[in-house]
Structure 1
């Protein structure tokens, strides 16, 4: 299958999914969200692949959702369609019968950070910036962000992180348990390739089987969270705070939220 906003590279038992909108720091428009869901569902059926690396082309992993498309008056983002693709993406990524490695450089924000957290191994460069920053535009995390944060750090810390929306350097994120390895700048992709080769030289079928057992037992919870995120996101899109957050973002100023 040909893709416009991503690349799928196959290399024997290794596959790479590359976010490929470098001119906008791999901001995810509706096309990219659909293509990511499609490619992950494609890989789910390919048992010849045992390791999948996710990475971004250009200066960043992903700056998150494409806000310009959200506010485009001529071709606005269809939230009902987008949220279905985001849910497909999250479920496919969580249930992949491969070991997944997130190779993070630059920014990994919003939905981009949710995707990173869904991976089995997270390698981030020292200068990488990670943020669950939906709160900045009056939204809630999606793409299973609530679920994946809770899996990594538990409910109390997940709430703190979601509510604060802070941008974290890689070492701080590692301290929270959100990054598994901090790499020198410019080396995340090399480190990820090395990790992939190391995994492929182990009894990886047993590792994949254990992943399947652990993840299958939590799958219904993930589905439930995705439904709740969809409902909440649709509700938040109608709030005054969201509209103010978007307006402030476009005008490059601090938003004045009112709790409405």
Structure 2
């Protein structure tokens, strides 16, 4: 399977999925979302791979959704199509028959942070920045962000973190319960490799079966949240606050929201 915005490498029982738009900070445009959906759906049928590592090419893990594409007059983002892709991505991702490690360096924001949080284990470099910052452009989390945040920190804390949209250091994210390990500068991929080795030297079929059991019981709730995220995000895209938020982002100024 050939991709242009991601790369998938397989080696015996492990695989590495690399987000590969470094010139755009691995922001997810419609092509990357389609390719991620196709990749995860294909990996659902994988019989040999037992551990998957997700990482970003270049300086960051992922800056999230491609904000500039949201206001591109030549090719405006089709939000309904994007939500279809995201639903496919997250459903396949959550049901992968393997253990998933997200190795985060640089930054993981918005949709990129949703993807990282969906992993079974999240390792972040100590100097990385992590943010569920949809609120800054008048949107709500998507990509299962509500579900994954709630799974990790509970409803009340998830709401507060989403509403605040604060950029967290790796240490702050770990203390909050959003990530699992903090790697010293420049060692995040080495730490991820160590975790892969530990998993592959364990009774990993038992570990994967536990994941399957726990995820199966939560799948109906995830599917409902994905439906509500799609409906909510479509509505948010039509608000004046969202338009102000994306223009302020592109113009590198503080937004002025009106609650509309």
TM range (shorter): over 0.9
Q: Any idea what the Cα deviations from partners look like across 1:77-125, whole Å, max 9, x if unmatched?
A: 1111111111111111111010000000001000000011100000000
Q: Partner of 2:75: helix, strand, or coil?
A: coil
CA distance in 2, matches of 1:197, 1:85: 32
Runs of 4+ in 1 over 6 A off after TM superposition: none
CA distance in 2, matches of 1:119, 1:250: 30
Q: 5+ unaligned residues in a row in structure 2: which ranges?
A: none
CA distance in 1, matches of 2:230, 2:127: 32
Q: Which residues in structure 2 correspond to 1:27-38 (within 5 Å)?
A: 27-38=27-38
Q: Partner of 2:211: helix, strand, or coil?
A: helix
CA distance in 2, matches of 1:251, 1:6: 29
Aligned twin of 1:17: 17
Q: Partner of 1:218: helix, strand, or coil?
A: helix
CA distance in 1, matches of 2:63, 2:53: 18
Q: Partner of 1:47: helix, strand, or coil?
A: coil
Give yes or no for the alignment of 1:64 onto 2:48: no
Aligned twin of 2:227: 227
Aligned twin of 2:40: 40
Cα offset, 1:194, TM superposition: 1.3
What number of residue pairs does the alignment pair up? 260
CA distance in 2, matches of 1:11, 1:68: 36
Give yes or no for the alignment of 1:77 onto 2:77: yes
Q: Which residues in structure 2 correspond to 1:111-126 (within 5 Å)?
A: 111-126=111-126
Aligned twin of 1:3: 3
Q: Which residues in structure 2 correspond to 1:1-260 (within 5 Å)?
A: 1-260=1-260
CA distance in 1, matches of 2:108, 2:237: 22
Cα offset, 1:193, TM superposition: 1.1
Cα offset, 1:251, TM superposition: 1.1
Q: Partner of 1:139: helix, strand, or coil?
A: coil
TM-score (norm 1): 0.99
Give the CA RMSD over aligned residues. 0.6
CA distance in 1, matches of 2:172, 2:24: 26
Cα offset, 1:162, TM superposition: 0.4
